[in-house]
Structure 1
């Protein structure tokens, strides 16, 4: 039962994300920078991230492919976080933008530490 609900929620989430991304591209009215932000964020980062996570969860614990998938997941998470930090920091005063970027760096190193130093957990 939980698996059915999870699949339904995942499908609903992707549907909402697709609608939101499509509306953003439509409302950009030809603004190339907005489209250049939405398309990589959606196609490259989010879809590729979830695909890598699905492969990672299905891989055997001692499989060499798991290590490569960890690197791909960390890279995609860092890329996605940096993209949203860039977009969000444009709207803020520079001291707040510095804090946002500092949090991005800390989060990236935190995920790296958890994924690669404590590799027995994951």
Structure 2
């Protein structure tokens, strides 16, 4: 539809994001978090710093960007590590480990790349 009307989509869609708005979105999926972590490590570091600051001011000494889940390490760094795993989060995906440092030009789930 973008091509039909001569409109360029938001560049983030070509980089594997499923939705554009907050970076990262608290509703992003595992694959999207993986893409954000490898393409925008400064965003992950920014959120980790916010978690650290809020944790210091928190009565419970805890703060997470993503909702906490059972058997998940708290904090964005734990979620990023989880995004590198295969189903169940018990084992690292060897293909993803290789892909983490080799960022492709396009990862669009919408087929936006040429």
Q: Normalising by structure 2, what TM-score? A: 0.31
> Which structure is larger by alpha-carbon Rg, 1 or 2?
1
Higher-RCO chain (CA-CA 8 Å, sequence separation at least 6): 2
More helix by share: 1
